[in-house]
């Protein structure tokens, strides 16, 4: 079923008239056509079906419907008509355009390579790339294209400092950009709550999304007390309506750069190995205290192997880079898998060139020689890597150092042999007496 509402200019709602529609009404002409997407122009509409058929209706004074039907002054609207192909981006990357081209909004002659989505506004056009960047072209009298100039833009031009955009809406003197972080940015002329007119020359983030989140937070949670201060804000103890207790960090957003830093911090926490390992036992159906099965042990070994390779890369640079703060919270799941690698080492805030003597943040992960104030060496990272196995494998490192002979599994001798070999490696990595006897990452 298809519903529509709005100004209905030139019958663009396809209801058989051009009267304003203030509440959703069923559009019989469009029902059961398997329409998957609409493209709204200023006074016309295109509809794309799941079979990749394209219908158009509304005003056609400048050929914007892509059909040969003429505009008749006394006819309130043009019925939907199937067209062969305003813009079409085909599956093979070709772009077709037609209609009014007084301001170059068709973009004829431009290379549209890497453009994934194209939007048509009121005499203007936009294209979003696969990286979330935006190109725009057409008239820019009211800065609706996002460029700080009132000149017409005759060919697609990149909007500066605008990234991560997933959809665009441009109509009625305003252009809105919705980003993947859920925020809306806008440009063009607008009026504030006091009906004062302003012009926003470059895309600016609105506050509406932030207020919505705040209202939702207040509806769902009750703040009990402040329990601390953290990076970017204060931390509160809160309970939901079921009396479940949580810790919430409230962030005072200052500007776009500050927001991006906060988002990176949140992404780091969500996608860290530490977060993944907290759920690993449940994923494999293992009870607390039970040994891993062969599959879980195999996957854990591969995780550890990837981390060793990451740190090996740092240590073999010239000069070597010593991370100095290796732990599972600084090991992230990569967005893109390259060469079969899923993890990457991050947070180089404490990283240093070899032989620097600055202090690291967490003594429990530091090698003994670092805690004694002796010079840093790549082997100090090797010690910290061994500490991560407490979370990755669930080992008790003190038992490893004391040569505990207790079997890991009661019924899997093959697994027991693998665990014995791994513990021998970890014992060498944890050498507290002479760091030079610790192996390098490459050795394993």
Instruction: Give per-residue pLDDT as tens, 143-180.
Output: 888 998 888 888 788 998 888 898 888 876 678 898 88
Q: How far apart are CA 196 and CA 81, in angstroms?
A: 43
Phi, psi angles (nearest 5°) of residue 253: -75, 125
CATH of the domain at 28: 2.130.10.30
Residues 193 and 284 in one domain: no
Q: CB count, 10 Å around CB of 440?
A: 15
Give the Cα separation of 444 and 442 in Å (integer): 5
Query: Confidence class of residue 201 from pLDDT cuts 50, 70 and 90?
Result: confident
Binding positions are: 250
Report the range out of 66-70, 274-278, 302-306, 400-404 with the highest average pLDDT. 302-306
Q: Please state, as a whole number, how many other Cβ atoms lie within 10 Å of the Cβ of residue 142.
A: 17
The encoded tokens of residue 424 equal 């021998």
Residues 335, 405 share a domain: yes
Residue 254 and residue 168 in one domain: no
Domain termination site, one of 207, 228, 247: 207
Query: What would the two tokens of residue 201 be?
Result: 């020359």
Mode of pairing for the β-strands spanning 341-345 and 165-171:
unpaired
Q: Please tell me whether residues 311 and 411 are part of one structural domain.
A: yes
Question: Contact at 8 Å (CB) between 103 and 151?
Answer: no
Residue 281 DSSP label: H
Do 155 and 290 belong to one domain? no
Same domain membership, residue 178 and residue 257: no
- The helix (H) or strand (E) run that includes residue 222 is strand 221-230
pLDDT at 363 over 80: no
Query: Computed from CA positions of residues 261, 265, 271, 272, in that sequence, does the dihedral angle turn out positive or negative?
Result: positive
- Looking at the structure of the chain, the number of domains it has is 3
Helices and strands in the chain: count of H runs, count of E runs: 8, 23
Whether the predicted pLDDT of 260 surpasses 80: no
pLDDT one-digit tens code per residue, 83-112: 443 445 555 555 555 555 565 555 555 555
3-state secondary structure (DSSP) of residue 188: strand
| Residue in 146, 75, 343 with CA at minimum distance from that of residue 57 | 75
Q: Could you tell me if 395 and 247 lie in one domain?
A: no
Query: Which of 190, 207, 224 represents a domain boundary (last residue)?
Result: 207
Does 293 share its domain with 366?
yes
Average pLDDT, the chain: 76
Whether the pLDDT of residue 316 is over 70: the answer is yes
CB 93 within 8 A of CB 117: no
Q: How far is Cα 129 from Cα 117, in angstroms, rounded to an integer? A: 7
**How far is C-alpha 228 from the chain's CA centre?**
28
- Residue 249 neighbours by CB distance under 10 Å: 17
Q: Cα–Cα distance between 175 and 306 in angstroms, integer? A: 45
Cβ density class 331-363: b for 16+ within 10 Å, e for less: bbeeeeeeeeeebbbbbeebbeeeeeeeebeee
Annotated binding-site residues for ATP read: 250
Q: Which has more pLDDT, 342 or 362?
A: 342
Answer yes or no: do 18 and 161 share one domain. yes
The per-residue pLDDT for 297 is: 92
Structure tokens at 54: 């394209």
Last residue of a domain, one of 270, 291, 316: 270
Residue 225: give the domain boundaries: 211-270
Name the strand (E) or helix (H) holding 384: helix 378-392
Per the model's pLDDT, the better-predicted residue between 286 and 109 turns out to be: 286
Of 365, 422, 413, 432, the C-alpha closest to 394 is 422
What percent of the chain shows pLDDT beyond 70?
Answer: 70
> Which residues, listed in sequence order, are joined to residue 136 by a DSSP beta bridge?
126, 157
Least confident of 84-88, 246-250, 287-291: 84-88
pLDDT value at 132 more than 80: yes
Q: Output the DSSP codes for 13-51.
A: T-SSS---EEEEEE-GGGTTS-EEEEEE-SSEEEEEETT
Residue 347 has pLDDT above 50, yes or no: yes
Tokens of 91: 């599956």
For the chain, report the end-to-end CA distance as a whole number of angstroms: 61
| Residue 190 shares a structural domain with residue 332 | no
Q: What is the pLDDT of residues 10-57, one digit of tens each?
A: 777 778 788 888 888 888 878 888 888 887 776 777 788 887 777 777
Cβ neighbours of residue 218 closer than 8 Å, sequence gap 6 or more: none
The CATH code of the domain that includes 384 is 1.10.510.10
Residue 361 confidence (pLDDT) above 50: no
Q: What tokens appear for 384 in the block?
A: 């910290």
Residue pair 1/33 in contact (Cβ under 8 Å)? The answer is no
Same domain, 128 and 144: yes
Q: What pLDDT sits at residue 415? A: 92
- Asked whether residue 106 falls in the same domain as residue 189, the answer is yes
CATH number at residue 221: 3.30.200.20
Task: Report, as an integer, the average pLDDT of 369-373.
Answer: 81
Q: Report the DSSP beta bridge partners of residue 321.
A: 353
């Amino acid at each position: 079923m298809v519903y529509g509402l709005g100004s209905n200019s030139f019958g663009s709602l396809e209801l058989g008239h051009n009267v304003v529609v203030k509440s959703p009404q069923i559009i019989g002409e469009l029902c059961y056509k398997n329409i998957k997407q609409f493209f709204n122009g200023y006074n016309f509409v295109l509809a794309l079906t799941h079979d990749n058929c394209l219908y158009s209706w509304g005003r056609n004074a400048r050929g914007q419907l892509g059909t040969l039907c003429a505009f008749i002054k006394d006819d309130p609207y043009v019925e939907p008509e199937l067209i062969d192909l305003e813009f079409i981006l085909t599956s093979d990357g070709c772009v077709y355009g037609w209609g009014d081209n007084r301001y170059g909004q068709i973009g004829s002659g431009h290379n549209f390579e890497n453009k994934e989505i194209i939007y048509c506004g009121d005499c203007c056009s936009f294209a979003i790339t696969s990286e979330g960047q935006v190109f725009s072209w057409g008239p820019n009298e009211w800065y609706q294209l996002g460029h700080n100039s009132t000149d017409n833009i005759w060919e697609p031009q990149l909007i500066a400092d605008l990234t991560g955009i997933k959809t665009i809406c441009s109509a009625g003197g305003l252009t809105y950009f919705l980003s993947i972080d859920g925020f809306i940015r806008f440009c063009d002329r607008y009026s504030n709550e006091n009906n004062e007119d302003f012009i926003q020359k470059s895309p600016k983030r609105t506050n509406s999304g932030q207020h919505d989140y705040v209202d939702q937070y207040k509806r769902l949670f009750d703040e009990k007390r402040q329990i601390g201060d953290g990076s970017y804000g204060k931390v509160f103890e809160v309970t939901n309506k079921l009396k479940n207790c949580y810790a919430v960090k409230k962030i005072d957003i200052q500007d776009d750069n500050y927001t991006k830093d906060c988002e990176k911090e949140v992404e780091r926490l969500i996608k860290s190995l530490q977060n993944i390992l907290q759920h690993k036992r449940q994923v494999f159906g293992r009870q607390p205290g039970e040994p891993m099965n062969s599959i879980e042990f195999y996957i854990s070994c591969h995780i550890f192997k990837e981390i060793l390779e990451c740190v090996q890369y740092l240590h073999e640079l010239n000069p070597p880079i010593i991370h100095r703060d290796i732990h599972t919270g600084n090991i992230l799941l990569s967005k893109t898998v390259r060469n079969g690698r899923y993890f990457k080492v991050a947070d180089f805030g404490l990283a240093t060139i070899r032989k620097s003597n600055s202090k690291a943040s967490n003594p429990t992960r530091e090698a003994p020689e670092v805690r004694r104030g002796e010079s840093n060496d790549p082997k100090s990272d090797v010690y910290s890597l061994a500490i991560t196995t407490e979370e990755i494998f669930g080992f008790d490192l003190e038992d490893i150092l004391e040569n505990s002979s207790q079997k890991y599994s009661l019924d899997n001798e093959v697994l027991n042999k693998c665990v014995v070999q791994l513990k021998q490696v970890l014992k060498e990595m944890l050498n507290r007496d002479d760091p030079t006897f610790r192996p390098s990452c490459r050795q394993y």
